[in-house]
Amino acid sequence: MMRHLNGNCLHRVKDINSLPENVDKNQSILLTQEKGMSVSNSAVYSSSRSKLQFTEMIIGAELPFNLVNNRFVRNFIQGLRPEFHMLSDKTVASDAHELVNKLKRKVKETVSKSSNGRCSYTSDIWTSNQNLGYMCITTHFIDTTWTLKNFVVGFPMIPSPHSGENISRVLLDCLEEYNILYRSLCIVMDNASNNSTAITCFNAKYVEKGLTPSPGKANNIYGRCCAHIFNLIANAGFEELGNLIKNLREAVKK
């Protein structure tokens, strides 16, 4: 027994003590191998890592913050890992905002270091089930290695009404936050009248700031989303064929 303890167990204790400080050394899992027991670093429980992964799950799966208040969820997590200290909904919300801000800083750094080339933007307005309008803004650019990159740089709420002036102001604020306003070249939006007004307001503010999109161009290029146009065409065609489709359905029923 003493030979086993001295030969196999003591040096495993040294392995555990050599783990990083942020790892809970009391939660090591021993895995059986041919020559005895070994400590698996990948199986070591870390409360900070579990907390981060839980926050990423909430964001990635678009789950509500108050999910942690569900007793079935709490029982399930406690059954998997009793050592995990269950978070409150306020803590999850705070961690989520902190993680998002960290990712925003990373995107800002990536975009700023990419190149001084021009950026194009795509944008669309989305209405939530709470009847609140949000605007998704994505930037597209080619970096120094000639690789096409794209990042979502904003998902701000748009105040009602969704006028062209409000859309333009939100777009300007977002691009200024990431310091890429001066690199603007082309903006793609759907084929709506308020978006046309938004581009007009955007270009006016752009010129006021002493910026120009590109040599010989007075305004940013406004691209109308082809997918939206095709969707409008398809819907218009279905409206014309609506009665015919209805009659065919009725005929099949008979």
- Predicted confidence at residue 11, as pLDDT, reads 52
- Predicted confidence at residue 242, as pLDDT, reads 76
pLDDT in tens, 27-81: 545 444 555 545 444 567 788 888 899 999 998 898 999 998 999 989 998 888 8
Asked whether the whole model's pTM tops 0.75, one would answer no
pLDDT in tens, 151-205: 999 899 988 888 889 999 999 999 999 888 888 888 898 888 888 888 888 888 8
pLDDT at 218 over 80: no
Q: What is the DSSP string of 161-211?
A: S--HHHHHHHHHHHHHHTT-GGGEEEEEE-S-HHHHHHHHHHHHHHHHTT-
Q: How many CB atoms lie within 10 A of CB 185?
A: 16
Name every residue whose Cβ is closer than 8 Å to that of residue 189 and which is 6 or more positions away in sequence.
122, 123, 124, 195, 198, 199, 222, 223, 224, 225
Q: Which of 154, 123, 143 is nearest to 183 (CA)?
A: 143
Average pLDDT over residues 9-26: 52
Average pLDDT over residues 4-30: 52
pLDDT at 137 over 90: yes
Rounded CA-CA distance 94/168 in Å is 30
> Hey, where are the domains in the chain?
2-43, 47-98, 115-240
Q: Who wins on pLDDT, 10 or 71?
A: 71
For domain 115-240, give the fold. Nucleotidyltransferase; domain 5 (3.30.420)
pLDDT in tens, 118-131: 888 999 888 888 88
- Predicted confidence at residue 42, as pLDDT, reads 52
Rounded CA-CA distance 186/115 in Å is 17
